[in-house]
Structure 1
Amino acid sequence: MAIESKCEGGHDQGRGAVAWVPISRYTVSGSRISRGERGTPLTTSKTTPFTIAVPQAVLDDLRERLARTRFPDQPPGAPWAYGTDLGYLRELVSYWQTRYDWRKHEAELNGFRQFTAPVAGIGVHFLHEEGRGPSPLPLILSHGWPGSVWEFHKIIPMLTDPARFGGDARDAFTVVAPSLPGYGFSFAPGQARFGITEIADAWAQLMTDVLGYRRFAAQGGDWGGFITSRLGAAYPERLAGIHVNLLSLRRDLPRPDKPTPEERAYLDDLGKWLREETGYQWIQGTKPQTLAYGLTDSPAGLAAWIVEKFRTWSDCGGDVERSFSKDELLTNVMLYWVTGAIGSSFWPYYARYHAPWPIADGQRIEVPTAYADFPKEIIRPPRSWAERIYNIKRWTVMPSGGHFAALEEPRLLAEDIRAFFRDLR
């Protein structure tokens, strides 16, 4: 079946600018297969092999735009005090224009088996890597914003082939890692927008109806944690368990009259977060289209908007490159730039403010749940609060790491995922 998604019409068509390229230009035709439960072959015509091949004209246009960047001034004060630091952004833009090699990272992504499939009325792009072990458990990994499937390029081999990294082959997973609807190569102009509930429904369709996995595991952080939690709530009969590194807890849960020291610390941190760190949520959740114009047109603006989050939310001690290299940061940004998907990626925030919470009031997620508690995660509720909503079976306090755990601390996260699901296979 042909995928109708197209990535056209992003850049302004005047003045010799480059249009977004139809997704078919990135797609390689060929045999179409997926895998059944526990890796059993399941012949289907529902998936199409996919290869990334960004046209050179898109890359040339990018470099020209970077060369013409008009930078703002910066108020007096400490670097990063008011957002992305001017000096660092100048350095990053110069590197992006003159030294960054997209083709190297494009080839790295193409080292994974990639497919597209029609799911819930759109074309969904996903990585699909078979496990190397006696009975790999299917596992769907969900990223968030401002991330992408690039976040998983280190952790996927650790999950599919644990023996290669000193682990037990019996802990292997067959990994499915989709680009969220409206993100990366799961975006096409004019397509339906998806909130968390709709994405979870799409993932259930992808895993069972398209790929034939009748029982599977799920893991995620950021919006991926919300999606994974929603899967556990809505499809418990299909889930072996869920593993998250961000908990989907409402911010307005009833507060105890006499909070414990742990609860008081959490409430203080939550108050600071809401006051100082949620401005991006309000603009993305209320006027996403207004923001989309500038970030779709300016690669420097796009990088500034995204990279600041990688610095603020990671365990980098204020130096973002302690946690992520320039190449890692820019490859993630590129998956928004070459697809023109930044505006559509805001939609889960809009849905968050204009639709019901994905976990219904009073609903408890009964599937076995694990939480990986990284010290620099943006919100870290106490276990007592998490247990109001989740059937917590494992709670691991990590020694280091932050919000983008799969990219920042892949070994710690992979080991915790393998340990949790060991007895749930």
Structure 2
Amino acid sequence: MSITKTATGSERPRHRLLIVAAMNSAVAAACLLPMPLSAAPPSAERVSDDTAIRPFSVSIPDAALADLRRRIAATRWPTRELVADDTQGVRLATMQKLADYWANQYDWRKAEANLNRYPQFVTRIDGVDIHFIHVRSKHANALPVIITHGWPGSIIEQLKIIDRLTNPTAHGGTPADAFDVIIPSLPGYGFSGKPTELGWDPQRVARAWATLMDRLEYKSYVAQGGDWGDAVNEQMALQKPKGLLSIHTNMPGTLPDTISAALAGGPQPTGLTADEDYAWKQLDFFYKNRVGYATEMGARPQTLYGLDDSPIALAAWMIDHDPESQKLIDRVFGGASEGLTRDDILDNISLYWLTGTGLSSGRLFWESKLAFFAPKGVTLPVAVSAFPDEIYTAPESWSRKAFPNLIFYKRHDKGGHFAAWEQPQALVEDMREAFRPLRESR
């Protein structure tokens, strides 16, 4: 593992970029990156109470939406790629289709109304305002679950699973399958605050999430996530806060040392099963062809000024994050539906743009010193859902070695990086089955 020095002189593992997948008062009309407004501004007394939980709703000014459309229309387009595929990056035709729809047909107000269907709150934890959705089930003894998004995701990823989890009888389940759902926005993402000091790595986020669950007075709960959500949840499992029963992940850290060594330039792995070979080939492709975004955000996130200055630059950066992303985008903007719609994609990108978190979300890559896909020594009960179009499809064999207390594993035949977004029913059914035995121990 090669080591590089930061500007402060501390050592940071370069190979930690095994990380990421895909792997953050009213505003004047001239304001280019408005922040959302709360439904009812909290009183000074409540603001001074650092443990206060304040109601929140989303209301983006019209001027910000007009500015977004103006910037899209003013895009200075590059020349067309010189190849007939996406090997040079996100294709010009794809981005021009996206831009046309975004500027002329897309309606952010529908996304805003959808977000405001759910109870939202803000509370200050460790000096940062944390935004979260909190939906309680109508069913008694619902199991609380804190669900964490990743990059380039947001709380938009999980909206499709909220009712399935909290209202299971309307979605093929029973009252005994009910969850209370808590979905926070990571610091520097979405409607959460942007940290003004160093140190907000996955370990610190994990501690903040434990504080949030304690503040909500949950005595026992489970956690779910992929991408950064997995990194945070695995750290929670290592920290073992009081009340955490188990974690479920759709992008687990399971790489054997031989695979990690091969990705770093060591000997090619041998003796792999069919599932292991499939995962190895996915990882080999990713590190040879698609890890550049993570390398840049992990090393120089502040350089990415374009993410907060150009909506098209932001959109291209976000959709070029994993091996299947461009194919999915091409299909969706070509008129097909692959679990996601054009509005799904633009709801998420617009959230980053309207909150001005394109650059700030990248700082989590810089802060993290974790080898993202490597096992961390988690001994709590773990459940794994593996999807074929993820950055890599974790084999059951690797999962059992990485998690000695693996309580559930299921390999799916469709779905990708955004499991809750693309295959919400499949993910919810996995969560119900995985956590069902734990309900009896509460």
The TM-score range, normalised by the shorter chain, is 0.7 to 0.9
In structure 2, the partner of 1:326 is 342
Partner AA of 1:21 in structure 2: P
In structure 2, the partner of 1:59 is 65
Are 1:117 and 2:144 counterparts?
no
Shift of 1:399: 2.1
Are 1:418 and 2:423 counterparts?
no
In structure 2, the partner of 1:219 is 224
Are 1:246 and 2:258 counterparts?
no
Is the 2:323–2:391 Cα contact (8 Å) retained in structure 1?
no
Shift of 1:86: 0.8
| Runs (5+) with no aligned partner, structure 2 | 1-24, 44-49, 262-267
Are 1:305 and 2:317 counterparts?
yes
Structure 2: distance between partners of 1:300 and 1:358? 28
| Correspondence list, 1:2-17, <5 A | 17=30
Q: Structure 1 residues 66, 377: closer, same or farther in 2, change over 3 A?
A: same
Q: Structure 1 residues 306, 251: closer, same or farther in 2, change over 3 A?
A: farther
Q: What's the secondary structure of 1:60's corresponding residue? A: helix
Q: Structure 1 residues 240, 379: closer, same or farther in 2, change over 3 A?
A: same
Is the 1:127–1:176 Cα contact (8 Å) retained in structure 2?
yes
Shift of 1:95: 1.1
Are 1:404 and 2:404 counterparts?
no
Shift of 1:338: 0.8
Structure 1: distance between partners of 2:145 and 2:388? 25
Q: What's the secondary structure of 2:379's corresponding residue? A: strand
Structure 1: distance between partners of 2:84 and 2:337? 19
Structure 1: distance between partners of 2:102 and 2:277? 44
Partner AA of 1:46 in structure 2: A
Are 1:161 and 2:167 counterparts?
yes
Tell me whether 250-259 or 156-165 shows the greater mean CA deviation. 250-259
Shift of 1:158: 0.3
In structure 2, the partner of 1:277 is 290
Structure 1: distance between partners of 2:67 and 2:312? 13
| Correspondence list, 1:255-274, <5 A | 259-262=271-274, 263-274=276-287
Is the 1:314–1:377 Cα contact (8 Å) retained in structure 2?
no
141, 144, 149: which one pairs with 1:138? Answer: 144
Shift of 1:398: 1.0
Is the 1:372–1:398 Cα contact (8 Å) retained in structure 2?
yes
Is the 2:136–2:166 Cα contact (8 Å) retained in structure 1?
yes
Q: Structure 1 residues 147, 214: closer, same or farther in 2, change over 3 A?
A: same
Q: What's the secondary structure of 2:223's corresponding residue? A: strand
Q: Structure 1 residues 357, 267: closer, same or farther in 2, change over 3 A?
A: closer
Shift of 1:163: 0.4
Shift of 1:369: 0.9
Partner AA of 1:94 in structure 2: D
Q: Structure 1 residues 232, 253: closer, same or farther in 2, change over 3 A?
A: farther
Q: What's the secondary structure of 1:125's corresponding residue? A: strand
Q: Structure 1 residues 189, 54: closer, same or farther in 2, change over 3 A?
A: farther
Is the 2:144–2:179 Cα contact (8 Å) retained in structure 1?
yes
Query: Taking structure 2 as the reference length, what is the TM-score of the superposition?
Result: 0.83
Partner AA of 1:83 in structure 2: G
Structure 2: distance between partners of 1:171 and 1:96? 38
In structure 2, the partner of 1:395 is 409
Is the 1:136–1:170 Cα contact (8 Å) retained in structure 2?
yes
Structure 2: distance between partners of 1:222 and 1:382? 17
Is the 2:142–2:179 Cα contact (8 Å) retained in structure 1?
yes
Structure 1: distance between partners of 2:163 and 2:122? 21
Structure 1: distance between partners of 2:59 and 2:328? 33
Percent identity (aligned) = 37
Is the 1:243–1:371 Cα contact (8 Å) retained in structure 2?
yes
Q: Structure 1 residues 326, 219: closer, same or farther in 2, change over 3 A?
A: same
Q: Structure 1 residues 314, 298: closer, same or farther in 2, change over 3 A?
A: closer
Query: Taking structure 1 as the reference length, what is the TM-score of the superposition?
Result: 0.86
Shift of 1:225: 1.1
Partner AA of 1:282 in structure 2: T
Residue deviations 1:279-321 (CA, integer Å, cap 9, x gap): 1111110011111x11100011111111233782488496245
Q: What's the secondary structure of 2:33's corresponding residue? A: coil
Structure 1: distance between partners of 2:212 and 2:365? 23
Shift of 1:373: 0.8
355, 359, 369: which one pairs with 1:339? Answer: 355
Task: Report the number of matched residues.
Answer: 396
Higher relative contact order (CA 8 A, sep 6+): 2
103, 106, 127: which one pairs with 2:112? Answer: 106
Structure 1: distance between partners of 2:373 and 2:288? 24
